[in-house]
Amino acid sequence: MLGISHTQCGDQFTVALNGELALDTVEAFHDVMDRRAPQTEQVVFDCAGLFFADSTGVNALLQAALRLKRRGVAAEVVNLNDDLREMLDVTGFFEVLGSA
Amino acid sequence: MGATSTSAPWPCQEPNAEEWARELRFAARVQETLLGRRTATVPGMVAFGQSVPQFAVGGDCFDLIPLPEGGLRIVIADIMGKGFGAAMLMAMFRSAARIVSAYGTPPGKTLCQLNEYFYPDLQKLESFLTVACADYHPDQREVVLASAGHPYPLLLRPNSRHQEPVKVRGVSLAMLPAATYREVCLPVSDGDRLLFYTDGLVEARNAEGQEYAIRGLTSAFSALGHLEAPEIVEGLLGAVASFTRPCSVRDDVTLVVTQFGPVSEGP
């Protein structure tokens, strides 16, 4: 299950992810990013409540962040737990995001 | 259902249930015959691998490729997603890896070349894959490893209950148009065991939602590490099955174990 909520504060749009970002839950994430994310200067993906992500989920997060960056929007992924941070680090997630 | 080509210049017929079932059986046979279980032996090392897809076919693969100058290459890969689409891409990858390996290209450069080759296509699909590539050289008694975002292999020395993750890193394949992959050189000795795996193994969940996790894997590997490579693989798969029972594993799972022994005779 994926719980997803979003808030806007000034120029920052925050997407809070809770639960699992995986093959069977990414549609809800795509829905928020494709239809509800406003034109803004910064998007923050708050992963404080995220405890699992498979390769599909990791890719969804990465592609969303890369699309934002290509549009000139600052994208940041924050509050990952240690296991998820390590997993994303090993896959090169942060290296790719940093080079975009 | 939209399973037929939208670009064909003639009317396409949707397969019926029997046709789909026949296609599925053939796909499963291809998967099992070419990608299921395999062993390879070179002086000083025996390798055994097994791949278990979640569905009839999957997005994991492994290969054991003899090197031109002697020795053996282990390749293990995991493409984003599962099922038929992932399996098609993985079949492409397996062939490309074999072709590059035939030239004796070292692991780091192999990953560079594969990355350049696959980036244009996988970018269109917004997909990527993780790969570990390891060459065992009998003369030097060492394993040279490179990784594209793959989980760290685990090294178990004899008479040790603790494993060392072999921390070799690199960006996943097809995430960047160009990438460099550094190599790690690992000396090996008689009795060592090296385990490669895909993340489906550690992400397996039981009915309570608990993950098998790296802790489960290292505990089982320690208990089984004195056995021969095929028995270790069988034991680890059995351990995960016991952990998740009565649930099934939700992802493709692939394991390769290499065991090292005296070069002058088989291990």
For B9-65, the pLDDT digits (tens) are 887 788 889 988 888 888 888 888 888 889 999 999 999 999 998 888 889 999 999
CB contact under 8 A, B80 and A99: no
Higher-pLDDT residue of B67 and B264 is B67
**Can you give the CATH number for the domain in which A75 is found?**
3.30.750.24
**Arithmetic mean of pLDDT, B104-108:** 95
Amino acid making up residue B78: D
Write the DSSP symbol of residue A38: P
Q: Which residues pair with B100 in a beta bridge?
A: none
The minimal CB distance from B82 to the residues A23, A90, A92 is found for A23
- B179 has pLDDT over 60: yes
Query: Domain holding B83: CATH number?
Result: 3.60.40.10
pLDDT at B1: 43
Contact at CB, B203 and A91, closer than 8 angstroms: no
Q: Report the DSSP beta bridge partners of residue A23.
A: none
Tracing tokens 């969804």 back to the chain, one arrives at: A60
How would residue B5 be classed by pLDDT, with cut points 50, 70 and 90?
low
Domain around B159: 44-260
* In the predicted structure, residue A97 carries a pLDDT above the cut 60: yes
Question: Is B30 a domain residue?
Answer: no
- B50 belongs to a structural domain: yes
Residue whose pair of structure tokens reads 């921390």 in the numeric block = B167
Q: What pLDDT, on a 0 to 100 scale, did the predictor assign at position B122?
A: 93
Would you state the structure tokens that stand for residue B159, as one six-digit string?
């008479």
- Average pLDDT (B132-151) is 97
Per-residue pLDDT, averaged over A13-27, amounts to 93
Q: Please provide residue B26's backbone torsions phi and psi, each rounded to the nearest 5 degrees.
A: -65, -40
Q: How far is B40 from chain A (nearest CA, A)?
A: 28
Pick from A60, A48, A52: nearest CA to A93: A60
Q: What percent of chain A has pLDDT over 90?
A: 73
What does the DSSP 8-state code read for residue A62? H
State residue B207 phi and psi, 5-degree precision: -65, -25
Report the amino acid identity of residue B10: W
Residue-level pLDDT at B69: 86
Say yes or no to pLDDT of B267 above 60.
no
Angle between helices B17-35 and B83-101 (to 10 degrees): 30
In a domain, B57, yes or no: yes
Contact A90 B251 (CB under 8 A): no
Distance (Å, rounded) from C-alpha B130 to C-alpha B137?
23
pLDDT band, very low/low/confident/very high, at B222 (cuts 50, 70, 90) = very high
- Residue type (1 letter), A8: Q
CB-based contact (8 Å) between B260 and chain A?
Answer: no
pLDDT of residue A36: 74
Reference B45, options B133, B140, B132; nearest CA is B140
Report percent pLDDT > 70 for chain A: 100
| Interface test mutation site (partner A, options B203, B214, B215, max chain A beta carbons within 10 A) | B203
Residue B6 has what pLDDT? Answer: 67
pLDDT at position B4 is: 60
Helix (H) or strand (E) holding A80: none
Per DSSP, the residues of chain B read: ---S-SS-SSPPPPP-HHHHHHHHHHHHHHHHHHHTEEEEEETTEEEEEEEE-SSSS-SEEEEEEE-TTSSEEEEEEEESS-HHHHHHHHHHHHHHHHHHHTTT--HHHHHHHHHHHHHHHHHHTT--EEEEEEEEETTTTEEEEEEEBPPPPEEE-TT-S-EEE-----PPBTSSSS-----EEEE--TT-EEEEE-TTTTT-B-TT--B-HHHHHHHHHHHHTTS-HHHHHHHHHHHHHHHHTTSPPSS-EEEEEEEE--TTS--
Which of B54, B80, B124 is the best mutation test for A, with the most CBs of A within 10 A?
Answer: B80
Tell me the whole-structure pTM to 2 decimals. Answer: 0.91
Q: CA–CA separation, A98 vs A5, rounded Å? A: 25
The interface residues of chain B toward chain A in range 62-81, judged by CB-CB distance below 8 A, are: 78-81
Q: Residue A53 belongs to what domain range? A: 2-99
Residue B213 belongs to a domain: yes
Indicate the number of domains in chain A. Answer: 1
Q: Which of B107, B95, B165, B163 is nearest to B132 (CA)?
A: B107
Kindly state the tokens that stand for B135.
């060459």
Give me the number of domains chain B comprises: 1
| pLDDT number for residue B44 | 95
What ipTM was reported for this prediction?
Answer: 0.86
Task: Give the alpha-carbon dihedral of B7, B8, B10, B11, to 10 degrees.
Answer: -70
| Chain B residues in contact with A90 (beta carbon < 8 A) | 149-152, 169
Interface with B, mutate which of A26, A29, A54, A91 (most B CBs under 10 A): A91
- Distance to chain A for B147, nearest Cα, Å: 9
Token digits for A4? Answer: 């997803």
- Is B234 within 8 Å of chain A by CB? no
Q: Choose between A54 and B145: higher pLDDT.
A: B145
